[in-house]
Structure 1
Amino acid sequence: MVHANAPLSERGRLRLARLIVEGDVPIAAAAARFQVAWPTAKRWADRYRTDGPAGMVDRSSRPHHSPRATPAPVVRRIVHLRWKKRLGPVQIADRVGVAASTAHRVLVRCRINRLAHVDRATGEPVRRYEHPAPGDLLHVDVKKLGNIPDGGGWRYVGRAQGDRNRAATPGKLRNAHHQAKMGTAFVHTVLDDHSRLAYAEIHDDETAATAIAVLRRAVAWFSARGVITRRVLSDNGSAYRSHAWRDTCHALRITPKRTRPYRPQTNGKIERFHRTLADGWAFARLYTGESQRRKALPGWLHEYNHHRPHTAIGGLPPISRLTNLSGQYN
Protein backbone atom coordinates (compact mmCIF):
# COMPACT_ATOMS: atom_id res chain seq x y z
CA MET A 1 0.00 0.00 0.00
CA VAL A 2 1.33 3.44 -0.99
CA HIS A 3 1.42 5.83 1.96
CA ALA A 4 -0.17 9.28 1.73
CA ASN A 5 3.08 11.19 1.19
CA ALA A 6 4.62 8.85 -1.42
CA PRO A 7 5.77 10.79 -4.51
CA LEU A 8 5.03 7.84 -6.81
CA SER A 9 2.01 5.60 -7.11
CA GLU A 10 2.24 2.27 -8.97
CA ARG A 11 1.10 4.03 -12.14
CA GLY A 12 3.64 6.81 -11.59
CA ARG A 13 6.44 4.28 -11.12
CA LEU A 14 5.50 2.64 -14.40
CA ARG A 15 5.59 5.98 -16.23
CA LEU A 16 8.97 6.81 -14.70
CA ALA A 17 10.45 3.43 -15.57
CA ARG A 18 9.18 3.51 -19.15
CA LEU A 19 10.53 7.02 -19.58
CA ILE A 20 14.02 5.80 -18.66
CA VAL A 21 14.01 2.33 -20.27
CA GLU A 22 11.93 2.90 -23.39
CA GLY A 23 12.28 6.67 -23.82
CA ASP A 24 16.07 6.69 -23.30
CA VAL A 25 15.78 9.66 -20.97
CA PRO A 26 18.76 9.99 -18.59
CA ILE A 27 18.07 8.82 -15.05
CA ALA A 28 18.95 12.22 -13.56
CA ALA A 29 16.58 14.05 -15.90
CA ALA A 30 13.71 11.61 -15.25
CA ALA A 31 14.28 11.86 -11.51
CA ALA A 32 14.14 15.65 -11.68
CA ARG A 33 10.93 15.54 -13.77
CA PHE A 34 9.18 13.25 -11.23
CA GLN A 35 10.78 15.02 -8.24
CA VAL A 36 12.37 11.91 -6.73
CA ALA A 37 15.93 11.00 -5.84
CA TRP A 38 18.29 9.60 -8.47
CA PRO A 39 18.64 6.18 -6.71
CA THR A 40 14.83 5.90 -6.55
CA ALA A 41 14.48 6.44 -10.29
CA LYS A 42 17.23 3.91 -10.98
CA ARG A 43 15.64 1.29 -8.70
CA TRP A 44 12.28 1.42 -10.52
CA ALA A 45 13.98 1.39 -13.90
CA ASP A 46 15.97 -1.72 -12.93
CA ARG A 47 12.81 -3.46 -11.69
CA TYR A 48 11.04 -2.65 -14.95
CA ARG A 49 13.88 -4.15 -16.99
CA THR A 50 13.75 -7.33 -14.89
CA ASP A 51 10.04 -7.88 -14.16
CA GLY A 52 8.16 -5.52 -16.46
CA PRO A 53 4.98 -3.80 -15.20
CA ALA A 54 4.57 -6.46 -12.50
CA GLY A 55 7.70 -5.17 -10.80
CA MET A 56 6.01 -1.85 -9.99
CA VAL A 57 3.89 -3.22 -7.16
CA ASP A 58 4.88 -2.98 -3.51
CA ARG A 59 6.97 -5.80 -2.08
CA SER A 60 7.38 -7.04 1.45
CA SER A 61 10.07 -5.28 3.43
CA ARG A 62 10.97 -8.52 5.17
CA PRO A 63 14.61 -9.44 4.51
CA HIS A 64 15.38 -12.50 2.41
CA HIS A 65 17.68 -13.86 5.13
CA SER A 66 17.53 -13.40 8.93
CA PRO A 67 20.71 -15.02 10.25
CA ARG A 68 20.07 -13.74 13.79
CA ALA A 69 16.47 -14.94 13.99
CA THR A 70 15.50 -17.20 16.87
CA PRO A 71 16.06 -20.82 15.74
CA ALA A 72 12.96 -22.89 15.12
CA PRO A 73 13.77 -25.48 17.85
CA VAL A 74 14.04 -22.66 20.41
CA VAL A 75 10.71 -21.21 19.24
CA ARG A 76 9.05 -24.62 19.60
CA ARG A 77 10.40 -25.00 23.13
CA ILE A 78 9.20 -21.52 24.13
CA VAL A 79 5.73 -22.29 22.79
CA HIS A 80 5.72 -25.68 24.52
CA LEU A 81 6.57 -24.16 27.91
CA ARG A 82 3.85 -21.57 27.44
CA TRP A 83 1.18 -24.09 26.51
CA LYS A 84 2.02 -26.85 28.97
CA LYS A 85 3.50 -24.93 31.93
CA ARG A 86 1.81 -21.53 31.48
CA LEU A 87 5.09 -19.81 32.30
CA GLY A 88 5.81 -16.13 31.74
CA PRO A 89 8.56 -14.69 29.51
CA VAL A 90 11.07 -14.38 32.38
CA GLN A 91 10.64 -18.00 33.52
CA ILE A 92 10.70 -19.28 29.94
CA ALA A 93 13.86 -17.27 29.17
CA ASP A 94 15.59 -18.78 32.21
CA ARG A 95 14.79 -22.34 31.11
CA VAL A 96 15.54 -21.88 27.44
CA GLY A 97 18.61 -19.67 27.78
CA VAL A 98 17.44 -16.61 25.82
CA ALA A 99 16.65 -13.04 26.77
CA ALA A 100 13.25 -12.35 28.31
CA SER A 101 12.55 -9.88 25.50
CA THR A 102 13.22 -12.64 22.96
CA ALA A 103 10.81 -15.01 24.70
CA HIS A 104 8.16 -12.30 24.84
CA ARG A 105 8.65 -11.46 21.15
CA VAL A 106 8.14 -15.12 20.23
CA LEU A 107 4.96 -15.30 22.34
CA VAL A 108 3.58 -12.19 20.66
CA ARG A 109 4.41 -13.53 17.21
CA CYS A 110 2.62 -16.81 18.04
CA ARG A 111 -0.32 -14.89 19.56
CA ILE A 112 -0.07 -16.57 22.95
CA ASN A 113 1.39 -13.64 24.86
CA ARG A 114 -1.79 -13.39 26.95
CA LEU A 115 -2.83 -16.32 29.13
CA ALA A 116 -6.45 -15.50 28.32
CA HIS A 117 -5.69 -16.89 24.84
CA VAL A 118 -4.67 -20.26 26.30
CA ASP A 119 -7.03 -22.91 27.65
CA ARG A 120 -6.48 -23.39 31.39
CA ALA A 121 -7.00 -27.14 31.40
CA THR A 122 -5.05 -28.22 28.33
CA GLY A 123 -2.73 -25.29 27.64
CA GLU A 124 -3.85 -25.30 24.01
CA PRO A 125 -4.98 -22.11 22.26
CA VAL A 126 -8.60 -21.29 23.04
CA ARG A 127 -10.99 -22.32 20.28
CA ARG A 128 -14.16 -20.24 20.30
CA TYR A 129 -17.34 -21.10 18.45
CA GLU A 130 -20.70 -19.51 17.82
CA HIS A 131 -23.70 -21.07 16.11
CA PRO A 132 -24.95 -19.13 13.08
CA ALA A 133 -28.57 -18.53 14.11
CA PRO A 134 -30.64 -18.03 17.29
CA GLY A 135 -32.05 -21.29 18.60
CA ASP A 136 -29.38 -23.49 17.02
CA LEU A 137 -28.12 -24.24 20.53
CA LEU A 138 -29.37 -23.38 24.02
CA HIS A 139 -27.02 -23.72 26.98
CA VAL A 140 -28.67 -24.83 30.23
CA ASP A 141 -27.22 -25.00 33.72
CA VAL A 142 -27.95 -24.31 37.39
CA LYS A 143 -26.30 -21.63 39.53
CA LYS A 144 -26.42 -22.34 43.28
CA LEU A 145 -26.63 -19.42 45.69
CA GLY A 146 -27.01 -19.39 49.46
CA ASN A 147 -30.24 -17.78 50.61
CA ILE A 148 -29.92 -14.36 52.23
CA PRO A 149 -31.09 -14.03 55.85
CA ASP A 150 -33.40 -11.25 56.99
CA GLY A 151 -31.35 -8.12 57.56
CA GLY A 152 -28.63 -8.98 55.00
CA GLY A 153 -25.85 -11.48 54.45
CA TRP A 154 -22.26 -11.46 55.63
CA ARG A 155 -20.89 -10.01 52.38
CA TYR A 156 -22.31 -6.59 53.27
CA VAL A 157 -22.92 -6.62 57.03
CA GLY A 158 -19.89 -8.66 58.10
CA ARG A 159 -19.49 -12.15 59.51
CA ALA A 160 -20.65 -11.43 63.03
CA GLN A 161 -23.81 -9.54 62.07
CA GLY A 162 -24.47 -12.00 59.26
CA ASP A 163 -24.45 -14.91 61.72
CA ARG A 164 -26.85 -13.04 63.99
CA ASN A 165 -29.18 -12.29 61.08
CA ARG A 166 -29.12 -15.93 60.04
CA ALA A 167 -29.94 -17.09 63.56
CA ALA A 168 -32.82 -14.63 63.83
CA THR A 169 -34.41 -15.51 60.49
CA PRO A 170 -37.59 -17.56 61.03
CA GLY A 171 -38.35 -20.81 59.22
CA LYS A 172 -34.75 -22.00 59.00
CA LEU A 173 -33.38 -25.52 59.38
CA ARG A 174 -30.51 -26.79 61.52
CA ASN A 175 -27.47 -28.77 60.51
CA ALA A 176 -25.75 -31.52 62.50
CA HIS A 177 -24.03 -28.88 64.66
CA HIS A 178 -27.35 -27.13 65.38
CA GLN A 179 -26.30 -24.15 63.29
CA ALA A 180 -28.92 -22.25 61.33
CA LYS A 181 -29.22 -23.28 57.68
CA MET A 182 -30.61 -20.76 55.25
CA GLY A 183 -30.93 -23.20 52.37
CA THR A 184 -29.96 -22.82 48.73
CA ALA A 185 -31.47 -20.95 45.81
CA PHE A 186 -31.12 -22.87 42.55
CA VAL A 187 -31.09 -20.47 39.60
CA HIS A 188 -31.97 -22.45 36.46
CA THR A 189 -30.52 -20.55 33.51
CA VAL A 190 -31.00 -20.94 29.76
CA LEU A 191 -28.78 -19.03 27.31
CA ASP A 192 -28.99 -18.81 23.53
CA ASP A 193 -25.58 -19.49 21.99
CA HIS A 194 -25.88 -17.05 19.07
CA SER A 195 -27.61 -14.04 20.60
CA ARG A 196 -26.67 -14.52 24.31
CA LEU A 197 -30.33 -13.93 25.16
CA ALA A 198 -30.94 -15.29 28.66
CA TYR A 199 -33.85 -16.85 30.56
CA ALA A 200 -33.74 -17.73 34.26
CA GLU A 201 -35.94 -19.02 37.06
CA ILE A 202 -35.22 -19.51 40.79
CA HIS A 203 -36.28 -22.74 42.49
CA ASP A 204 -35.57 -24.58 45.70
CA ASP A 205 -34.20 -27.72 44.02
CA GLU A 206 -32.47 -28.98 40.89
CA THR A 207 -34.41 -32.15 40.28
CA ALA A 208 -35.20 -33.46 36.82
CA ALA A 209 -38.86 -32.45 37.15
CA THR A 210 -37.89 -28.84 37.91
CA ALA A 211 -35.29 -28.72 35.12
CA ILE A 212 -37.81 -30.11 32.62
CA ALA A 213 -40.46 -27.56 33.62
CA VAL A 214 -37.92 -24.76 33.23
CA LEU A 215 -36.95 -26.07 29.79
CA ARG A 216 -40.55 -26.13 28.62
CA ARG A 217 -41.18 -22.58 29.76
CA ALA A 218 -37.85 -21.39 28.32
CA VAL A 219 -38.60 -22.92 24.91
CA ALA A 220 -42.01 -21.24 24.92
CA TRP A 221 -40.40 -17.93 25.98
CA PHE A 222 -37.88 -18.08 23.14
CA SER A 223 -40.58 -19.18 20.69
CA ALA A 224 -42.62 -16.07 21.56
CA ARG A 225 -39.62 -14.06 20.38
CA GLY A 226 -39.32 -15.93 17.10
CA VAL A 227 -36.57 -18.34 18.20
CA ILE A 228 -37.07 -22.02 17.35
CA THR A 229 -34.96 -24.24 19.60
CA ARG A 230 -33.09 -27.04 17.81
CA ARG A 231 -30.45 -28.26 20.28
CA VAL A 232 -29.80 -27.95 23.99
CA LEU A 233 -26.42 -28.40 25.69
CA SER A 234 -26.05 -29.30 29.37
CA ASP A 235 -23.48 -30.71 31.74
CA ASN A 236 -23.65 -34.25 33.14
CA GLY A 237 -25.84 -33.48 36.14
CA SER A 238 -28.33 -36.13 37.21
CA ALA A 239 -31.30 -34.08 35.99
CA TYR A 240 -29.87 -33.86 32.48
CA ARG A 241 -28.91 -37.54 32.35
CA SER A 242 -32.40 -38.71 33.23
CA HIS A 243 -34.70 -40.47 30.79
CA ALA A 244 -37.38 -37.89 31.52
CA TRP A 245 -35.10 -35.10 30.26
CA ARG A 246 -34.29 -37.08 27.12
CA ASP A 247 -37.94 -37.86 26.43
CA THR A 248 -38.98 -34.25 26.98
CA CYS A 249 -36.34 -33.02 24.53
CA HIS A 250 -37.56 -35.48 21.93
CA ALA A 251 -41.17 -34.42 22.52
CA LEU A 252 -40.13 -30.78 21.97
CA ARG A 253 -38.16 -31.83 18.85
CA ILE A 254 -34.91 -30.75 20.47
CA THR A 255 -31.64 -32.65 20.23
CA PRO A 256 -30.13 -33.03 23.72
CA LYS A 257 -26.36 -32.82 24.02
CA ARG A 258 -24.00 -33.02 27.00
CA THR A 259 -20.49 -31.80 27.62
CA ARG A 260 -17.59 -34.17 28.13
CA PRO A 261 -17.06 -35.07 31.80
CA TYR A 262 -14.80 -32.62 33.67
CA ARG A 263 -14.87 -30.27 30.68
CA PRO A 264 -16.92 -27.17 31.70
CA GLN A 265 -15.21 -25.08 29.00
CA THR A 266 -17.58 -26.62 26.43
CA ASN A 267 -20.44 -24.89 28.25
CA GLY A 268 -18.32 -21.81 28.84
CA LYS A 269 -20.84 -19.25 27.59
CA ILE A 270 -23.31 -20.00 30.37
CA GLU A 271 -20.51 -20.29 32.92
CA ARG A 272 -19.48 -16.76 31.97
CA PHE A 273 -23.11 -15.67 32.15
CA HIS A 274 -23.26 -16.97 35.72
CA ARG A 275 -20.36 -14.70 36.62
CA THR A 276 -22.18 -11.74 35.07
CA LEU A 277 -25.34 -12.83 36.91
CA ALA A 278 -23.52 -12.90 40.24
CA ASP A 279 -21.82 -9.53 39.74
CA GLY A 280 -24.81 -7.74 38.27
CA TRP A 281 -27.63 -9.19 40.37
CA ALA A 282 -26.88 -11.75 43.09
CA PHE A 283 -24.16 -9.77 44.90
CA ALA A 284 -24.61 -6.36 43.32
CA ARG A 285 -26.04 -4.64 46.40
CA LEU A 286 -27.29 -5.17 49.91
CA TYR A 287 -30.46 -7.26 49.97
CA THR A 288 -32.31 -7.34 53.30
CA GLY A 289 -33.81 -10.74 52.53
CA GLU A 290 -33.96 -13.56 50.01
CA SER A 291 -37.37 -12.51 48.73
CA GLN A 292 -36.02 -9.04 47.89
CA ARG A 293 -33.22 -10.55 45.82
CA ARG A 294 -35.55 -12.90 43.97
CA LYS A 295 -37.89 -10.03 43.09
CA ALA A 296 -34.94 -8.15 41.55
CA LEU A 297 -34.06 -10.93 39.07
CA PRO A 298 -36.67 -10.17 36.33
CA GLY A 299 -35.63 -6.51 36.21
CA TRP A 300 -31.96 -7.40 35.92
CA LEU A 301 -32.68 -9.95 33.17
CA HIS A 302 -34.55 -7.29 31.19
CA GLU A 303 -31.61 -4.93 31.58
CA TYR A 304 -29.21 -7.68 30.44
CA ASN A 305 -31.26 -8.73 27.42
CA HIS A 306 -32.42 -5.33 26.18
CA HIS A 307 -29.95 -2.67 27.31
CA ARG A 308 -26.63 -4.00 28.61
CA PRO A 309 -23.92 -3.96 25.88
CA HIS A 310 -22.34 -7.38 25.36
CA THR A 311 -18.67 -7.36 24.34
CA ALA A 312 -18.88 -10.72 22.53
CA ILE A 313 -21.46 -9.40 20.04
CA GLY A 314 -19.93 -6.03 19.23
CA GLY A 315 -21.14 -4.05 22.23
CA LEU A 316 -24.83 -4.57 21.40
CA PRO A 317 -27.53 -6.00 23.70
CA PRO A 318 -28.52 -9.64 23.06
CA ILE A 319 -32.02 -8.74 21.84
CA SER A 320 -30.46 -6.91 18.87
CA ARG A 321 -29.45 -10.27 17.37
CA LEU A 322 -33.03 -11.41 16.96
CA THR A 323 -34.03 -10.37 13.44
CA ASN A 324 -37.70 -11.40 13.43
CA LEU A 325 -39.16 -9.64 16.45
CA SER A 326 -42.65 -8.26 15.98
CA GLY A 327 -42.55 -4.54 15.32
CA GLN A 328 -38.78 -4.45 14.96
CA TYR A 329 -38.87 -2.81 11.52
CA ASN A 330 -41.75 -0.39 12.12
Structure 2
Amino acid sequence: MKDRLEELRRKVQDAHEEHNDNPFTQMGMQKEDGEEEEEGDDTFEVPQAVIFEDEPALENFLNEAQHLREAINSLEAEVKRFSQQQKSLVAAMRRFSVIKKESSITQDIKRQAESIHKRLDALSKQVKQTEEDRGPVGAAARIQHAQHATLFHRFQQVMRQYNDSLVTKQDKCKDFIVRQLEVSGREVTDEEVNDMLEQGRWEIFNENVMHEAKITRTQLSEIEQRHKELVHLESNMRDLRDLFLELYLQVEAQGVHIENIQTQVEKTQDFVEITRERFKKAARYKKKNPFKKMFLCCFQPCRK
Protein backbone atom coordinates (compact mmCIF):
# COMPACT_ATOMS: atom_id res chain seq x y z
CA MET A 1 0.00 0.00 0.00
CA LYS A 2 1.32 3.42 -0.96
CA ASP A 3 2.11 5.76 1.90
CA ARG A 4 0.37 9.10 1.17
CA LEU A 5 1.05 10.75 4.50
CA GLU A 6 3.64 13.15 3.06
CA GLU A 7 1.32 14.09 0.23
CA LEU A 8 -1.48 14.93 2.67
CA ARG A 9 0.88 17.06 4.75
CA ARG A 10 1.87 19.08 1.69
CA LYS A 11 -1.77 19.65 0.76
CA VAL A 12 -2.61 20.86 4.27
CA GLN A 13 0.36 23.22 4.25
CA ASP A 14 -0.62 24.63 0.84
CA ALA A 15 -4.18 25.13 2.02
CA HIS A 16 -3.02 27.04 5.09
CA GLU A 17 -0.81 29.30 2.97
CA GLU A 18 -3.67 30.17 0.61
CA HIS A 19 -5.96 30.75 3.57
CA ASN A 20 -3.47 33.21 5.07
CA ASP A 21 -3.16 35.06 1.76
CA ASN A 22 -6.96 35.41 1.38
CA PRO A 23 -8.70 35.66 4.78
CA PHE A 24 -12.17 35.82 3.16
CA THR A 25 -11.99 32.27 1.87
CA GLN A 26 -12.09 28.96 3.59
CA MET A 27 -11.35 25.49 2.46
CA GLY A 28 -14.57 23.87 1.21
CA MET A 29 -13.31 20.28 1.06
CA GLN A 30 -14.00 18.35 4.24
CA LYS A 31 -13.32 14.67 4.47
CA GLU A 32 -15.85 12.31 6.00
CA ASP A 33 -14.89 9.22 7.99
CA GLY A 34 -13.75 6.42 5.73
CA GLU A 35 -13.74 8.57 2.51
CA GLU A 36 -10.65 8.99 0.38
CA GLU A 37 -9.74 12.45 -0.92
CA GLU A 38 -9.35 12.77 -4.68
CA GLU A 39 -5.96 13.87 -5.84
CA GLY A 40 -5.67 17.46 -7.12
CA ASP A 41 -9.05 18.63 -5.67
CA ASP A 42 -8.30 22.06 -4.14
CA THR A 43 -11.78 23.72 -4.36
CA PHE A 44 -12.68 26.58 -2.03
CA GLU A 45 -16.00 28.23 -1.23
CA VAL A 46 -16.81 31.80 -0.25
CA PRO A 47 -18.55 31.71 3.14
CA GLN A 48 -22.24 32.65 3.08
CA ALA A 49 -23.57 34.89 5.85
CA VAL A 50 -26.90 33.82 7.34
CA ILE A 51 -28.96 36.83 8.41
CA PHE A 52 -32.11 36.22 10.43
CA GLU A 53 -35.02 38.57 9.98
CA ASP A 54 -35.85 41.01 12.71
CA GLU A 55 -38.75 39.17 14.29
CA PRO A 56 -39.58 41.78 16.99
CA ALA A 57 -40.56 44.29 14.28
CA LEU A 58 -43.11 41.89 12.79
CA GLU A 59 -44.33 40.92 16.25
CA ASN A 60 -44.90 44.58 17.16
CA PHE A 61 -46.79 45.08 13.90
CA LEU A 62 -49.06 42.12 14.62
CA ASN A 63 -49.70 43.35 18.18
CA GLU A 64 -50.71 46.77 16.85
CA ALA A 65 -52.94 45.09 14.28
CA GLN A 66 -54.67 43.11 17.06
CA HIS A 67 -55.24 46.29 19.06
CA LEU A 68 -56.65 47.98 15.96
CA ARG A 69 -58.97 45.04 15.39
CA GLU A 70 -60.32 45.41 18.92
CA ALA A 71 -60.77 49.17 18.41
CA ILE A 72 -62.73 48.57 15.20
CA ASN A 73 -64.95 46.06 17.01
CA SER A 74 -65.63 48.67 19.71
CA LEU A 75 -66.46 51.25 17.04
CA GLU A 76 -68.82 48.79 15.38
CA ALA A 77 -70.63 48.28 18.70
CA GLU A 78 -71.12 52.06 19.03
CA VAL A 79 -72.44 52.28 15.47
CA LYS A 80 -74.90 49.44 16.09
CA ARG A 81 -76.15 51.15 19.23
CA PHE A 82 -76.64 54.38 17.31
CA SER A 83 -78.49 52.52 14.53
CA GLN A 84 -80.72 50.78 17.06
CA GLN A 85 -81.74 54.14 18.50
CA GLN A 86 -82.72 55.38 15.05
CA LYS A 87 -84.96 52.36 14.51
CA SER A 88 -86.96 53.36 17.59
CA LEU A 89 -87.43 56.91 16.29
CA VAL A 90 -91.09 57.88 16.85
CA ALA A 91 -93.13 60.82 15.68
CA ALA A 92 -93.44 62.38 19.14
CA MET A 93 -90.83 64.87 20.23
CA ARG A 94 -88.13 63.30 22.35
CA ARG A 95 -86.74 64.63 25.53
CA PHE A 96 -83.68 66.85 25.53
CA SER A 97 -81.74 64.32 27.63
CA VAL A 98 -82.18 61.65 24.94
CA ILE A 99 -80.99 64.02 22.21
CA LYS A 100 -78.00 65.06 24.32
CA LYS A 101 -77.07 61.41 24.89
CA GLU A 102 -77.33 60.74 21.16
CA SER A 103 -75.06 63.70 20.44
CA SER A 104 -72.52 62.25 22.87
CA ILE A 105 -72.58 58.93 20.98
CA THR A 106 -71.93 60.64 17.65
CA GLN A 107 -69.00 62.53 19.14
CA ASP A 108 -67.53 59.29 20.49
CA ILE A 109 -67.92 57.63 17.09
CA LYS A 110 -66.22 60.55 15.37
CA ARG A 111 -63.31 60.54 17.85
CA GLN A 112 -62.79 56.77 17.59
CA ALA A 113 -62.99 56.84 13.78
CA GLU A 114 -60.36 59.57 13.49
CA SER A 115 -58.04 57.72 15.90
CA ILE A 116 -58.39 54.43 14.00
CA HIS A 117 -57.80 56.20 10.69
CA LYS A 118 -54.53 57.70 11.94
CA ARG A 119 -53.34 54.34 13.26
CA LEU A 120 -54.16 52.69 9.92
CA ASP A 121 -52.08 55.33 8.16
CA ALA A 122 -49.18 54.55 10.50
CA LEU A 123 -49.47 50.84 9.68
CA SER A 124 -49.53 51.67 5.96
CA LYS A 125 -46.24 53.56 6.33
CA GLN A 126 -44.71 50.56 8.10
CA VAL A 127 -45.81 48.29 5.27
CA LYS A 128 -44.20 50.57 2.67
CA GLN A 129 -40.98 50.74 4.71
CA THR A 130 -40.85 46.95 4.99
CA GLU A 131 -41.38 46.59 1.25
CA GLU A 132 -38.49 48.98 0.59
CA ASP A 133 -36.17 47.20 3.05
CA ARG A 134 -36.97 43.54 2.31
CA GLY A 135 -38.78 43.64 -1.02
CA PRO A 136 -42.50 43.40 -1.82
CA VAL A 137 -42.39 39.60 -2.17
CA GLY A 138 -40.84 38.98 1.24
CA ALA A 139 -42.79 37.05 3.87
CA ALA A 140 -42.85 39.96 6.33
CA ALA A 141 -44.06 42.44 3.68
CA ARG A 142 -46.82 40.13 2.48
CA ILE A 143 -48.02 39.42 6.04
CA GLN A 144 -48.10 43.12 6.92
CA HIS A 145 -49.84 44.04 3.68
CA ALA A 146 -52.54 41.39 4.18
CA GLN A 147 -53.15 42.49 7.79
CA HIS A 148 -53.43 46.17 6.81
CA ALA A 149 -55.76 45.45 3.87
CA THR A 150 -58.07 43.34 6.05
CA LEU A 151 -58.26 45.95 8.83
CA PHE A 152 -58.83 48.77 6.35
CA HIS A 153 -61.64 46.86 4.62
CA ARG A 154 -63.25 46.17 8.01
CA PHE A 155 -63.01 49.82 9.02
CA GLN A 156 -64.55 50.85 5.71
CA GLN A 157 -67.55 48.56 6.28
CA VAL A 158 -68.19 49.99 9.77
CA MET A 159 -68.02 53.59 8.52
CA ARG A 160 -70.39 52.76 5.68
CA GLN A 161 -72.88 51.41 8.23
CA TYR A 162 -72.57 54.63 10.23
CA ASN A 163 -73.14 56.75 7.13
CA ASP A 164 -76.23 54.72 6.24
CA SER A 165 -77.60 55.29 9.75
CA LEU A 166 -77.10 59.06 9.44
CA VAL A 167 -78.84 59.16 6.07
CA THR A 168 -81.74 57.07 7.41
CA LYS A 169 -82.22 59.41 10.35
CA GLN A 170 -82.09 62.44 8.08
CA ASP A 171 -84.82 61.00 5.86
CA LYS A 172 -87.01 60.20 8.87
CA CYS A 173 -86.73 63.73 10.22
CA LYS A 174 -87.63 65.23 6.85
CA ASP A 175 -90.61 62.91 6.51
CA PHE A 176 -91.79 63.94 9.96
CA ILE A 177 -91.63 67.66 9.11
CA VAL A 178 -93.54 67.17 5.86
CA ARG A 179 -96.15 64.97 7.53
CA GLN A 180 -96.78 67.42 10.36
CA LEU A 181 -97.25 70.29 7.93
CA GLU A 182 -99.60 68.23 5.78
CA VAL A 183 -101.72 67.46 8.85
CA SER A 184 -101.97 71.19 9.61
CA GLY A 185 -103.14 71.91 6.05
CA ARG A 186 -99.86 73.06 4.49
CA GLU A 187 -98.36 71.00 1.70
CA VAL A 188 -94.58 71.25 1.56
CA THR A 189 -92.36 69.47 -0.94
CA ASP A 190 -89.04 67.85 -0.19
CA GLU A 191 -87.28 70.54 -2.19
CA GLU A 192 -88.73 73.28 0.03
CA VAL A 193 -87.58 71.45 3.14
CA ASN A 194 -84.09 70.98 1.67
CA ASP A 195 -83.91 74.67 0.73
CA MET A 196 -84.98 75.63 4.24
CA LEU A 197 -82.24 73.43 5.73
CA GLU A 198 -79.55 74.70 3.38
CA GLN A 199 -80.41 78.38 3.84
CA GLY A 200 -81.01 78.06 7.57
CA ARG A 201 -83.93 80.53 7.40
CA TRP A 202 -86.20 78.55 9.70
CA GLU A 203 -87.77 81.65 11.30
CA ILE A 204 -89.13 83.00 7.99
CA PHE A 205 -90.45 79.58 7.14
CA ASN A 206 -92.24 79.42 10.49
CA GLU A 207 -93.86 82.81 9.92
CA ASN A 208 -95.22 81.67 6.56
CA VAL A 209 -96.56 78.50 8.09
CA MET A 210 -98.26 80.37 10.95
CA HIS A 211 -99.97 82.78 8.52
CA GLU A 212 -101.03 80.27 5.88
CA ALA A 213 -102.05 77.38 8.13
CA LYS A 214 -103.58 76.92 11.52
CA ILE A 215 -100.85 75.03 13.37
CA THR A 216 -100.49 74.67 17.11
CA ARG A 217 -97.39 75.75 18.91
CA THR A 218 -96.81 72.19 20.09
CA GLN A 219 -96.66 70.94 16.51
CA LEU A 220 -94.42 73.82 15.58
CA SER A 221 -92.13 73.01 18.50
CA GLU A 222 -91.88 69.39 17.34
CA ILE A 223 -91.04 70.52 13.81
CA GLU A 224 -88.36 72.88 15.15
CA GLN A 225 -86.94 70.04 17.22
CA ARG A 226 -86.66 67.87 14.12
CA HIS A 227 -85.02 70.78 12.34
CA LYS A 228 -82.39 71.00 15.06
CA GLU A 229 -81.69 67.31 14.70
CA LEU A 230 -81.30 67.70 10.96
CA VAL A 231 -78.86 70.59 11.44
CA HIS A 232 -76.88 68.47 13.89
CA LEU A 233 -76.80 65.60 11.40
CA GLU A 234 -75.62 67.91 8.64
CA SER A 235 -72.80 69.06 10.91
CA ASN A 236 -71.74 65.48 11.68
CA MET A 237 -71.80 64.53 8.01
CA ARG A 238 -69.66 67.54 7.08
CA ASP A 239 -67.13 66.59 9.75
CA LEU A 240 -66.90 63.06 8.37
CA ARG A 241 -66.79 64.15 4.73
CA ASP A 242 -62.99 64.46 4.66
CA LEU A 243 -62.62 61.09 6.36
CA PHE A 244 -64.90 59.41 3.82
CA LEU A 245 -62.97 61.05 0.99
CA GLU A 246 -59.67 59.65 2.25
CA LEU A 247 -61.24 56.22 2.66
CA TYR A 248 -62.52 56.37 -0.90
CA LEU A 249 -59.10 57.27 -2.28
CA GLN A 250 -57.41 54.48 -0.33
CA VAL A 251 -60.02 51.97 -1.47
CA GLU A 252 -59.40 52.96 -5.07
CA ALA A 253 -55.66 52.49 -4.53
CA GLN A 254 -55.91 49.16 -2.70
CA GLY A 255 -59.01 47.71 -4.32
CA VAL A 256 -57.04 45.30 -6.48
CA HIS A 257 -55.05 43.96 -3.51
CA ILE A 258 -58.20 43.48 -1.40
CA GLU A 259 -59.94 41.59 -4.19
CA ASN A 260 -56.82 39.45 -4.70
CA ILE A 261 -56.74 38.53 -1.00
CA GLN A 262 -60.44 37.62 -1.08
CA THR A 263 -59.92 35.47 -4.18
CA GLN A 264 -57.01 33.62 -2.56
CA VAL A 265 -59.08 32.94 0.57
CA GLU A 266 -61.93 31.54 -1.51
CA LYS A 267 -59.53 29.34 -3.47
CA THR A 268 -58.02 28.08 -0.21
CA GLN A 269 -61.47 27.13 1.09
CA ASP A 270 -62.23 25.23 -2.12
CA PHE A 271 -58.86 23.47 -1.97
CA VAL A 272 -59.49 22.42 1.65
CA GLU A 273 -62.84 20.89 0.65
CA ILE A 274 -61.25 19.02 -2.26
CA THR A 275 -58.44 17.74 -0.02
CA ARG A 276 -60.95 16.56 2.58
CA GLU A 277 -62.84 14.57 -0.06
CA ARG A 278 -59.59 13.02 -1.32
CA PHE A 279 -58.66 11.93 2.19
CA LYS A 280 -62.05 10.24 2.57
CA LYS A 281 -61.54 8.40 -0.73
CA ALA A 282 -58.04 7.34 0.31
CA ALA A 283 -59.39 5.95 3.58
CA ARG A 284 -62.03 3.91 1.70
CA TYR A 285 -59.49 2.58 -0.81
CA LYS A 286 -57.17 1.61 2.03
CA LYS A 287 -59.88 -0.51 3.64
CA LYS A 288 -60.72 -2.20 0.32
CA ASN A 289 -57.10 -2.88 -0.70
CA PRO A 290 -57.00 -6.54 -2.02
CA PHE A 291 -53.22 -6.88 -1.60
CA LYS A 292 -53.58 -6.20 2.10
CA LYS A 293 -56.13 -8.99 2.44
CA MET A 294 -53.96 -11.43 0.45
CA PHE A 295 -50.96 -10.57 2.61
CA LEU A 296 -52.90 -11.29 5.80
CA CYS A 297 -54.20 -14.57 4.42
CA CYS A 298 -50.80 -15.79 3.22
CA PHE A 299 -48.82 -14.91 6.32
CA GLN A 300 -50.81 -16.19 9.24
CA PRO A 301 -49.09 -16.00 12.66
CA CYS A 302 -47.43 -19.19 13.77
CA ARG A 303 -49.10 -21.01 16.57
CA LYS A 304 -47.40 -23.39 18.92
For the criterion TM > 0.5, the same-fold answer is no
More strand by share: 1
More helix by share: 2
- Highest CA radius of gyration, 1 or 2? 2
Higher relative contact order (CA 8 A, sep 6+): 2
Q: TM-score, normalising length from structure 1? A: 0.20
